[in-house]
Amino acid sequence: MKTNMKKLPFIISAALLSAASLTLNAAKPQAAGEPAIEFAQTSHDFGTIAEKGGPVKHEFIFTNTGDAPLMVLTASASCGCTRPEYPKKPIAPGKSGKIKVTYLPEGRPGEFTKTVTVKTNAKAKNQKKVTLKIKGFVNPAK
């Protein structure tokens, strides 16, 4: 009986340490995945368009190739003649989204090249900020 009594504090200590260890491990958050963005293309050539033909549009399709939700934080154009639209809701892993870019050719005859800078929550340096490019030639109105 004396031998068992001597072991009792050791057994209680071991049980408490085991319980504490399990509690601490359960409280640790799981490592979160990371979002990643991949565009089908990052440039578009409108070719020759008419100055009075109205706005032209192109959709840049992208996919979240990561394993966490992807957020497009902003999409900003290099000038006021270019208007980007982007999804405001998270894009689930494996799902696709689009950046719709509209160019306004009126009053802008000649060659053009414009950019749209897309900022995301992706972790990879080359995916935090992606530059999309549109170009073409505006035929002057007669």
- Is beta strand 43-50 parallel, antiparallel or unpaired with respect to 129-139? parallel
Per-residue pLDDT, 16? 47
Dmax over Cα atoms in the chain, in whole Å?
Answer: 110
Per-residue pLDDT, 116? 98
pLDDT tens figures, 21-57:
444 433 333 346 999 999 999 999 999 999 999 999 9
| Greater model confidence, 84 or 12 | 84
Q: Is the pLDDT of residue 11 over 70?
A: no
pLDDT tens figures, 59-84:
999 999 999 999 999 999 999 999 99
Per-residue pLDDT, 142? 81
Residues 6+ away with beta carbon under 8 Å from 123: 34, 35, 36
pLDDT tens figures, 84-114:
999 999 999 999 999 999 999 999 999 999 9
CB contact at 8 A, 141 and 108: no
**Alpha carbon distance 41, 81 (integer Å):** 21
